Amino acid sequence: MTQTVLEKAFRDVVIANRILAHEGVVDAYGHVSVRHPLDPTRYLLSRSRAPELVERGDIVEFDLGGKAVGGDTRAPYLERFIHGAIYEARAEVQAVVHAHAEAVLPFTVSTTPLRPVMHMASFIGAHIPVWDIRDNFGDTNLLVVNMAQGRDLARGLGAARVALMRGHGFVAAGRSLPEAIRIGVYMPVNARVLLGAMRLGRDRGARIDEARRPGHGSVLGVLGRARGLRRFAQRPDLIWPRGASS
């Protein structure tokens, strides 16, 4: 049973990578992780590889400090510290997505806030913080490359589900892997809708009480967390796009 639970977690990380790549949320540099189902002081994340190509053998166990467990010497993602720092700060978080979706980027560098304006994105939260690495680390290449920066980002995220990263992208923290995937998928969709509405004039958006109801009118309530991932898992065309092998 223990091995079955762990193997499922490895497989789910592979599926999550394929979904996010298929939906255009992550490019060659985005990544998704899940907290280790048997050891909360570890997490599962692919080695440094384009998400649409990730396979079971690419998944590596890391401790919260970003060190590969078991001496795996393959190149890791430079920004793995994002994941460990959030798991360290938030015991309820079970999955983390980091992406550079282009539609979201304007809201990371402008004073216009990104907020939910459609029912499928109501669960991203009424107020989305913007974290700026420059505030505490000066001029950098904007990448989160150590635990000090990761912990600062985790503080910027606070209790929110999502934080924007100035000139960089966003991070999403889910209470389950399906929740993190949904947040990741609908963040850029919502951003595109909001940008389109702004071109037309004042938008109506989602009310604050609507944004605080993740089970009402959202994909979380319609599909359920576990059912949603199983649905994707049953659709090979969503998991293995462009003919990529498993």
Domain ranges of the chain: 2-243
- Global pTM reads 0.84
Q: Does residue 105 surpass a pLDDT of 90?
A: yes
CA distance 144 to 125: 24
pLDDT band at 155, cuts 50/70/90? very high
User: Is residue 229's pLDDT more than 70?
Assistant: no
Q: Which amino acid is at 127?
A: H
Cβ neighbours for 11, distance < 8 A, ≥ 6 positions apart: 56
Q: Indicate if 79 belongs to the active site.
A: yes
Q: Considering the candidates 7, 23, 55, 79, report the single residue annotated as catalytic.
A: 79
Q: Give the per-residue pLDDT at 12.
A: 93
Of 3-7, 111-115, 116-120, 201-205, the poorest mean pLDDT is in 201-205
Task: For the domain covering 2-243, report its CATH number.
Answer: 3.40.225.10
Q: What is the pLDDT at residue 232?
A: 52
Q: Classify burial at 110, counting beta carbons within 10 Å of its beta carbon; exposed 0-12, middle 13-18, buried 19 or more.
A: exposed
Look up residue 237 and give its amino acid: D
Count of other CB atoms within 10 angstroms of residue 7: 12
Helix, coil or strand: residue 43: strand
* Chain position carrying tokens 């904007």: 142
Average confidence (pLDDT) over 21-32: 92
